[in-house]
Structure 1
């Protein structure tokens, strides 16, 4: 059961003039299929629009705030900022999954916590805010919930790559990830992974996929290595 959408308005600090746009943004295709609604009534069209708005605003942010970055560097950074895991991370911070309108099957298989579902919903929400309040309102939302604390977020999103580079530069031992445990049914698993440099464990992390748990472990290891310097 989804939470009251008025609570979502309070959480994001934006009140819709057309409340139906917000409801539309939270309407997953599994819900429209189950209710025998038209295909276009799900949030995928809003997601398409929100993706374009997000790309423009994140591009502007990088252009204005990183004056020495090349086009290639900005493209790489933007890709990290707006990739599925990054947007799902932002969606979790506002508990967006709890407001989604899902079909019973999607609900039963953990759709509210699935990165692909919540990241798409965040883009749909951006599209809805853009249509309802214009570019300035969408920009304010993106700066507050996607681009805030960007340095730490980028460190988290790129943690495996950054850790690999640190290990290659500072250590002779090999970097490895070891799956410690996995829990839960097939449709809703949680993984825990430990990261090692040689025989020494530098930390562990959990996630709903092996890749996500490795990323969390790498982030933990980077922080530990920096503290040890």
Structure 2
């Protein structure tokens, strides 16, 4: 298999903070499937699983009182393709990607999905060569600033979403919202909306200047009535 030039290898390894002992492994991690059968798809598969685990572990320890749903949303925001593509651009991975002729012509080195896949493949390659702890160190280094800035409050779901998920989790009918009445002036109407979850639970009522806000307020009251935090 081909390898990158020593200069290019040195540049990218400096950005990654990791020096490959096997240069062909680095080359493969940067090889898109358009180059042929010797590409980075298997390494990407492995790196994706490792990334999800290490980020989940970091969030678990960083936010000891966060709910499972909040942790899941935080992890999703950190490991999504857009975030990985940003990291790839920080490393200037696009300059080193190995692409087939068609992808080269269509600007594949700028495509977010290809950049994101390469980041995951690099993590897979680091794991293959140096093991779990070294790979974990790389993840925490690459995501250091993003982990510092993240907070459960940033991904908090609105009351309607939380109520719907609660009902689904407990295998109950979904909440029903109904406009009880609309009053006030035509240029500034007020909406009175009810929220009903069936069973013995009482309906909650809320009033707001828009139907959407009134529904959220009614859902908030229902969550309180159900004892959902």
Q: State TM-score, norm by structure 1.
A: 0.61
Structure 1 distance, partners of 2:63, 2:29, is 32
Structure 1 distance, partners of 2:116, 2:68, is 25
Instruction: Confirm or deny: 8 A CA contact 1:57 1:139 kept in the other structure.
Output: yes
Deviation readout 1:69-112 (Å, 9 max, x if unpaired): 11111011101100010110111111111111011210111111
Match of 1:55 in 2: 52
Q: Which structure has the larger Rg over C-alpha atoms?
A: 2
Deviation readout 1:114-148 (Å, 9 max, x if unpaired): 10000000000000001111111111111111243
1:1-229 to 2 correspondences below 5 Å: 4-32=8-36, 39=37, 41-152=38-149, 154=150
Task: Give the length in aligned residue pairs.
Answer: 150
Structure 2 distance, partners of 1:45, 1:126, is 11
Q: State TM-score, norm by structure 2.
A: 0.61
Q: Name the SS for the 1:148 alignment partner.
A: helix
Instruction: Confirm or deny: 8 A CA contact 2:29 2:43 kept in the other structure.
Output: yes
Structure 1 distance, partners of 2:138, 2:85, is 15
Relative to its length, the structure with more helix (as a share) is 1
Instruction: Confirm or deny: 8 A CA contact 1:31 1:102 kept in the other structure.
Output: yes
